[in-house]
Amino acid sequence: MAQIFEVGMLICFGVSWPISVVKSIRSRSANGKSLLFTAVIIIGYLFGIGNKIISGTITYVFWLYVFNILVVSLDMAVSIINKRNAKKGVAHEQSDK
């Protein structure tokens, strides 16, 4: 029964993160994004993956963790790119003056 709740959590997060990635790509903005928060989420998923490996319960739930960590990492990468682009835009605006 506990595994059903874990799967539900991972599916909900698994749906939310791709939405976040798409919004970040479309908006080309990192406003409201915290790299520290995203890093903590990644660490949490690493703990979940570690738990599955150590306990020897590598089932489909393990692969949900892997999917989620990949998408969160992609979200972090997009945020970093958007932050860099925003800084470059500010630098270009200041040099134009």
* Two tokens, residue 21: 């990635």
Within a domain: 2: no
Q: Which domain range does residue 41 map to?
A: 34-87
In whole angstroms, what is the distance from residue 8 CA to residue 70 CA? 18
25 touches 85 (CB < 8 A): no
Within a domain: 16: no
Give which of 8, 40, 30 is closest to 87, Cα–Cα: 30
* Two tokens, residue 86: 């925003």
Within a domain: 11: no
Per-residue model confidence (pLDDT) at position 2 = 74
- Chain centre to alpha carbon of residue 88: 24
Tally of structural domains, the chain: 1
Per-residue model confidence (pLDDT) at position 97 = 52
pLDDT in tens, 44-88: 999 999 999 999 989 999 999 999 999 999 999 999 999 999 888
Within a domain: 29: no
pTM: 0.81
In whole angstroms, what is the distance from residue 41 CA to residue 28 CA? 22
